[in-house]
């Protein structure tokens, strides 16, 4: 079974600074996807960024980027120019492909989460 | 209305009550999911439906009964729950098609359930 570990229960950053959230995972599969989700106090789970395992290039989405190290099974999230609105719980998630043919669905395995505080 | 919606947003019930949680997705997706989020624990997958067929039941007690009448709606029927079932219940959907876009799940806002 896959496991996802986030070793930082809490992190803090000054506004406009950069912060990196860590995530490691364990799997024997070669085809999978990795995600970072953000859950603000409203509890709505929002997709931040995704990475396909077969892609060597690290994904980026505006101020968010990842450092994907497949051999080390590491998937960290870097937030640049942090903003107050970035304060939230961040979850790393692993998705394995289930289903065959024209329909696929995915089982997401989540880490424990990291609470990010942004100081003005 | 767009996205994934869930009703009610908050629910308080006694252990002998029967209630249902509703999830609706307006994204034309083929797969829908129920997750449980308890305090201090990672999100746990409960059920997966693909094209209205249950394809995954992650060892969930029978007091939770899912129903997927069509690809846009998903219910979670609750009966004789325990206080430890108090949690945030999240619904999600995904396109359910092969390829990159099919691999992302979109979440609803959740139903916060308190069992007394």
DSSP A17: S
CB contact under 8 A, B100 and A44: no
CB contact under 8 A, A107 and B102: no
pLDDT per residue as tens digits for the range A10-61: 999 999 999 999 999 999 888 888 999 999 988 889 999 999 888 889 999 9
Distance CA B47, CA B12 (A): 22
A108 touches chain B (CB under 8 A): yes
Return the pLDDT at B99: 56
Confidence band of A101 (pLDDT split at 50, 70, 90)? low
Return the pLDDT at A103: 64
Distance CA B26, CA B22 (A): 13
* Mean pLDDT over the full length of chain A: 91
Confidence band of A112 (pLDDT split at 50, 70, 90)? very high
Q: At residue A76, does pLDDT exceed 70? A: yes
């Amino acid at each position: 079974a896959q496991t996802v570990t986030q070793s930082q229960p809490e992190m803090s950053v000054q506004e406009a600074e950069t912060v990196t959230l860590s995530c490691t995972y364990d799997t024997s599969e070669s085809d999978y996807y990795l995600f970072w989700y953000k859950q603000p106090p409203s509890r709505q789970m929002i997709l931040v960024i995704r990475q396909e395992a077969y892609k060597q290039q690290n994904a980026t989405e505006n101020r968010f980027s990842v450092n994907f190290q497949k051999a080390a099974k590491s998937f960290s999230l870097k937030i640049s120019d942090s903003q107050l609105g970035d304060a939230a719980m961040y979850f790393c998630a692993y998705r394995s492909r289930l289903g065959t043919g024209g329909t696929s669905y995915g089982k997401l395995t989540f880490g424990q989460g990291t609470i990010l505080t942004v100081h003005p | 209305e767009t996205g994934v919606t869930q009703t009610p947003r908050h629910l308080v019930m006694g252990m002998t009550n029967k209630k249902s949680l509703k999830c609706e997705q307006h994204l034309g997706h083929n797969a829908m999911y129920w997750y449980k989020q308890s305090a201090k624990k990672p999100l746990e997958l409960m059920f997966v439906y693909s094209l209205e067929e249950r394809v995954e039941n992650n060892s969930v007690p029978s007091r939770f009964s899912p129903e997927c009448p069509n690809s846009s709606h998903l219910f979670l029927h609750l009966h004789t729950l325990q206080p430890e079932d108090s949690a945030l219940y999240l619904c999600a959907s995904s396109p359910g098609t092969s390829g990159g876009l099919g691999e992302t799940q979109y979440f609803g806002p959740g139903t916060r359930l308190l069992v007394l």
